[in-house]
Amino acid sequence: MRSSAAEPVRSGDLVALGLEPPEARRLSEGVKRLLGTCSSAECWRRVSSGLLRPAHPFPVHQMLHRTVFDNEPDAGPAPIFVPAPESIKKTNLARIQEQLGLASYAELHSWTVENRSAYWELMIRQLGIRFRTPPVEILDSTPGVEQVRWLPGARLNIAESCFGRGSGTAVVYQREGTPLSSLTRKGLDSLSNRVANALPRLGVARGDTVAIDMPMNVEAVAIYLGVIKAGCVALTIAESFSAPEVRTRLRVGEARALFTQDRILRGSRELPLYTRMLEAGAPATVVVPAQGRLSQPLREGDLSWDDFLSDNEAFRAVACDPGDAINILFSSGTTGEPKAIPFTHLTPIKCAADGCLHQDIREGDVVAWPTSLGWMMGPWLIYASLVNGATIALYDGVPTSRQFCEFVQDAKVNVLGVVPTLVGAWRAGSCVEGLDWSSVRVFTSTGECSNPGDMHYLTSRAGYRPVVEYCGGTEIGGAYITGTVVQTSVASAFSTAALGMSLTIRDRRGVESDQGEIFIVPPSIGLSTRLLNRDHHREYFAGTPQGPGGGPLRRHGDRMERLDNGYYRAQGRMDDTMNLGGIKVGSAEIERVLNRVPGIGETAAVAVSPPGGGATRLVVYVVPATPEPELDEEGLLRIFQQAIAERLNPLFRLHDVKVVRQMPRTASNKILRRQLRSRYTGQDS
């Protein structure tokens, strides 16, 4: 029971924050009645769900939150959302828990880890995964935990499972400045079949790689599913990458053909895309018009979207082995070339299972997550939505705008995924104010460390809904650590390892600790077993400590802290990679670009967390090529930003540049990036 010694909030204080006196008195008296009558968590649930409104100024929400929890300074971070018992009963998690006869979420998680084969068998059945030939068993672990075989003997094409549930809308979508539109599940199925039937026109056969570099819109989703139905491999590239970066990905993936858009329209801006693909040396290309007709003539041999499509709307998907690749995605590491990670027909099962249980996606839901097919969350959104019988919500425009927030309202989005940078922009621009987000049932966040204040702001705008922090990677096919809708949401913190997975934190000596590097205890469906251009064992298993059962742990590379209340908070990367605006990039990739700038001897790119938490900031330390002349840091920042935009990705924002005479190094001559981060943090403090 919370002590009633704390002074309740005064109505005058609330008036000073923008409330009218009658409303201020109502809130003040309501909070006063609750204080001391129940636990702080229960008190906050009643305040947030019964007294506060989205229309109240956010500082009012913050003040009442502090008032409720000010007597528990040692209890760890205070929750921003506390689920009601009646809402928990309606969740997918509660249904599975009841089906298994388990009394709590903790028991459910333990069961999924101790009975991994049974867990995945249960989820395959719950998700309605379609097989041409069923597996002879769920898990064959005889090759060892690094190379386990899931569903041996099975034949399937995972794209068929995207059309097994629900009969209504597959996609609701909107381009900037146009009305909402939609496509039925039958319509999406037919359009993807027309793509699959037409692929031989490009000289593409089963097993070939087909690149997709375009915004995530209806055509992109149909192309993606059509490529997979045909037994081919989709090589997906984020449309923001420069021509040299696209060329690298086309080469590594050995793409035989490419789908793209003629241009990208963003407000009054037109960004050429097809031209960039030609600069990248694109193979045979199909070009989708951004609006109406194509904006430019095509290279000889290339095809327009309308000329490419087959008229045949029927296609029998090619049956494949579960371990066959369906998608090549790229994830940065510590070298200049990105890791090429294959998704298999197994990976979408992880996507859909996480979506069902952690994001609580239900049949008939509308799910939005501003993303791209070039990032893991693009394919994740397709599978987590369609396999669960939900509708994908796609907005072709600027996601930081008021217009996107109106799209969330008008499309009646139920599950809204975000990158923390977006939330910061919405808050700064008051983009959500006055909108009706009451349809949102779940928020979920991934891509980078979030800011607690921004996450509190986000949930307050929809009348308080769970905020599921979701952290994983392309090589996982989903999350390894996350939250749930049945546990309290603590801003910017994770409550649990993902279902079917267990974790351990180790210090520098390899000893279990509450702070250090986090490791995954394999196996799990979704975990990669190979890379196209790296040694998989060396990347994820070489030199790792032993796990609880004596087997090797799997490295992921994140620093994590276990809080006193049992939750977890991310502390960035162990290696030299960083997340910028939700995009993972290696220091080496940035430095390779910046070291070409005249007058630069050496650079070191580091990610620095802001004092209040939240998205990391890119800071570059520079050693001049010669002692003279002195380099101007502000001028370098502008030059470096232009170089990054032109040669790497315009979405990577540079926060600061610092000129130094030499880099701190180890005895083996490696740059001490932790020391640079600490030095910068000290300058900021």
**Interatomic CA distance for residues 402 and 373, integer angstroms:** 23
421-463 pLDDT per residue, tens: 899 899 999 999 999 999 999 999 998 778 899 999 999 999 9
238-278 pLDDT per residue, tens: 999 999 999 999 999 999 999 999 999 987 889 999 999 99
Greatest alpha-carbon span in the chain: 79
- As to burial, measured by CB atoms within 10 angstroms (0-12 exposed, 13-18 middle, 19+ buried), residue 165 is middle
List Cα–Cα distances, 392 to 238, 265, 318, 381, in angstroms: 19, 21, 24, 7
Closest-CA residue to 272 (of 294, 245, 300): 294
> Tell me, what's the pLDDT at 75?
62
For residue 342, what are the β-bridge partners?
A: 328
The residue ranges of DSSP E strands in 153-252, in sequence order, are 169-175, 181-184, 209-213, 233-236
Rounded to two decimals, what is the model's pTM? 0.88
- The residue whose two tokens read 């490529």 is 227
CB of 438 closer than 8 Å to CB of 462: yes
For residue 607, what are the β-bridge partners?
A: 618
**Interatomic CA distance for residues 659 and 681, integer angstroms:** 16
CATH class, domain 576-684, is alpha beta
- The residue whose two tokens read 């932790």 is 674
Instruction: Give yes or no for residue 1 having a pLDDT over 50.
Output: no
538-591 pLDDT per residue, tens: 999 999 999 988 889 999 988 899 998 899 998 777 766 777 766 767 777 788
Which CATH homologous superfamily contains domain 158-555?
Answer: ANL, N-terminal domain (3.40.50.12780)
**Interatomic CA distance for residues 168 and 189, integer angstroms:** 12
**Interatomic CA distance for residues 197 and 315, integer angstroms:** 7
Residue 225 CA from chain centroid, whole number: 20
Q: Which residues contact 147 (CB under 8 A, 6 or more apart)?
A: 529
Q: Which residues contact 650 (CB under 8 A, 6 or more apart)?
A: 240, 644
- As to burial, measured by CB atoms within 10 angstroms (0-12 exposed, 13-18 middle, 19+ buried), residue 268 is exposed
Instruction: Give yes or no for residue 684 having a pLDDT over 60.
Output: no
Instruction: Give yes or no for residue 74 having a pLDDT over 80.
Output: no
User: Both ends of the chain: CA-CA distance in Å?
Assistant: 38
Rounded to the nearest 5°, which phi and psi values hold at 272? Answer: -65, 135
Cis peptide before 650 (omega within 30 of 0): no
Domain range list for the chain? 11-75, 158-555, 576-684
Residues 6-18: what's their mean pLDDT?
Answer: 86
Q: For all residues of the chain together, what is the average pLDDT?
A: 92
Instruction: Give yes or no for residue 289 having a pLDDT over 60.
Output: yes
Cis peptide before 629 (omega within 30 of 0): yes
> Tell me, what's the pLDDT at 626?
77
> Tell me, what's the pLDDT at 186?
96
Tokens matching residue 371: 């993303």
CB of 452 closer than 8 Å to CB of 62: no
Instruction: Give yes or no for residue 607 having a pLDDT over 60.
Output: yes
